[in-house]
Amino acid sequence: MAQILLRGGTVIDGSGAPPRAADVLLDGDLIVGVGESGAADATDAEVFDAAGLTVMPGLVDTHTHVTLGEPASNDELFFHRQPALAALVAGFNLGKVLRAGVTSIMDVDGLFNIGPALREAVAAGIVEGPNMKAGLYALMTAVGGTAGRMIPDEGTAGYAEVTRNRDEMVVATRRQIKEGADLVKIHVTGSLPTRRGELQVWTLDELKTVVDTAHDLQTPVVAHCRNASSTRDAARAGVDIIYHASYMDEEALEAVVESGAILGPVFTFLANLADFGPKAGATPDAQDVFRNEIESTGAMMRRAYDTGVTLICGSESGFVITPCGHWHAREMQLFVDVLGLTPLEAITCGTSNGAVAMGEGHLTGTIEVGKRADVLVIDGDPTRDITVLGDKSRFRRLFCRGREVDLNRPWPTRSPLPGERVTPWAETALTWELAYR
């Protein structure tokens, strides 16, 4: 690949340093020069005039589910997916993620064994997509996840792998790592249709069993924790990344600070439902609940940030309310709106902090000599208006591992697949009165 000189842009390097005017020189898959005036010897380079534009690292989304097929319901996700089609759809959706300026993702859990397979396909150049770290099924006890009674008593279903006791936890963890998982995810809280909120459904000892087994195999553990006690116990067990950490209390925050766990609030899914749900025909029931969850979690998350806890951005992309390629930048906006971070601080969370959380801080996440050429050039100043990062019409150039992404192609669209969606017989009961009165 020839050299490309991005000349005269405003560089936001992702480290938290203030923006500065600089040239950036790309050579193959690496950044080889960052500096004032010409980035040294770039005589053969293709020169791109970036004056008035922002040059920054590609976005890092640390919480996606690209294999789920953007389901509108758990029924669909648990009963209407087949491995081969799901894998092809995942490849299609991954391309949309890249087009949204995202050059690295952590796909935390998903269907079948697609995540690691997709990662290998991307690395081999078979599928176009961002650099990936991938999990397999989320480990659950039989009370798990956000699917209530759909979680079986044993085996796998949807995104869940049920582990009934500590022996099964060890076996499942080792098997997932053997099958190529970069991380092991645990759903520490689960929901039941008869109860409000999510309950902690793993004991501290059970969590430690998975964490110790995974760490022995040099594999990090991430956890879904939507209450205070689960966040506390996940931190105490040595979980590396805690997602949601909803309703954190003093004890939970203390445990997080002490353990050095990274936090990813993943506000985007909740905020999308709360702010725009009705536009997508979502039921309005949960709007206030989710708004409250964001607000009460936000206050403690801000304290965690001030105490030095590393925060990362994740979008929960892969559901109907967070389709791939649309919402990857919104978490940064919510860090500004809810946590009161400056846009520059939020960008650090959404770039270099994410790369560190993926174990790739030495490879990507900043505009620095020697880092991978994961670079986004955008018409706008995200330090003034962070929302420009979600507006793909402003993207001017995008490089992932040095390969340019063609932004001029039309946005990928597709038709529905047979049997992909649950089709209700009707929206409402056809009573005699409805028919005749």
Euclidean distance between CA atoms 303 and 306, whole angstroms? 5
∠ Cα 53 59 61 (to 5°): 160
Residue 5: CB minimum distance to Zn ion, A:
39
Residue 224: CB minimum distance to Zn ion, A:
6
Residue nearest to Zn ion (CB): 316
Cβ-based nearer residue to Zn ion, 316 or 345: 316
Residue 81: CB minimum distance to Zn ion, A:
16
Place of tokens 């790309």: 26
Of 177-185, 296-304, 311-319, 389-397, the window that binds Zn ion (rule: CB under 5 A) is 311-319
Euclidean distance between CA atoms 320 and 322, whole angstroms? 5
Residue 246: CB minimum distance to Zn ion, A:
13
Name the E strands within 109-175: 131-134, 138-140, 155-157, 160-162
Residue 121: CB minimum distance to Zn ion, A:
22
Of 31-39, 308-316, 386-394, 396-404, the window that binds Zn ion (rule: CB under 5 A) is 308-316
Alpha helix positions (H), 263-421 = 267-276, 287-307, 330-337, 343-350, 352-357
Of 69-77, 124-132, 310-318, 379-387, the window that binds Zn ion (rule: CB under 5 A) is 310-318
Of 184-192, 314-322, 365-373, 402-410, the window that binds Zn ion (rule: CB under 5 A) is 314-322
Residue 197: CB minimum distance to Zn ion, A:
17
Residues 315-334: x/- map of binding to Zn ion (CB under 5 A)? -x------------------
Residue 316: CB minimum distance to Zn ion, A:
5
Place of tokens 């991005």: 6
Amino acid present at 71: P
Euclidean distance between CA atoms 227 and 198, whole angstroms? 7
Burial 337-372 (b: 16+ CB within 10 A, else e): bbbebebbbbbbbbbbbbbbbbebeebbbbbbeebb
Backbone angles phi and psi of 142, in degrees to 5: -65, -20
The three-state secondary structure class of 155 is strand
Cβ-based nearer residue to Zn ion, 13 or 316: 316
Place of tokens 């991978």: 372
Counting Cα atoms < 13 Å in the Cβ hemisphere of 252 gives 24
Cβ-based nearer residue to Zn ion, 293 or 316: 316
Sign of CA dihedral 141, 331, 267, 271: negative
Cβ-based nearer residue to Zn ion, 147 or 405: 147
Cβ-based nearer residue to Zn ion, 32 or 184: 184
- What tokens were used for 26? 């790309």
Cβ-based nearer residue to Zn ion, 226 or 397: 226
Of 205-213, 273-281, 312-320, 352-360, the window that binds Zn ion (rule: CB under 5 A) is 312-320
Name 156's bridge partners. 161
Of 25-33, 186-194, 254-262, 309-317, the window that binds Zn ion (rule: CB under 5 A) is 309-317
Residues 17-46: x/- map of binding to Zn ion (CB under 5 A)? ------------------------------
- Which residues in 157-216 contact Zn ion (CB under 5 A)? none
Residue 131: CB minimum distance to Zn ion, A:
19
Euclidean distance between CA atoms 8 and 54, whole angstroms? 9
The three-state secondary structure class of 49 is strand
Number of residues near Zn ion (by CB under 5 A): 1
Residue 78: CB minimum distance to Zn ion, A:
15
Residues that bind Zn ion (CB under 5 A): 316
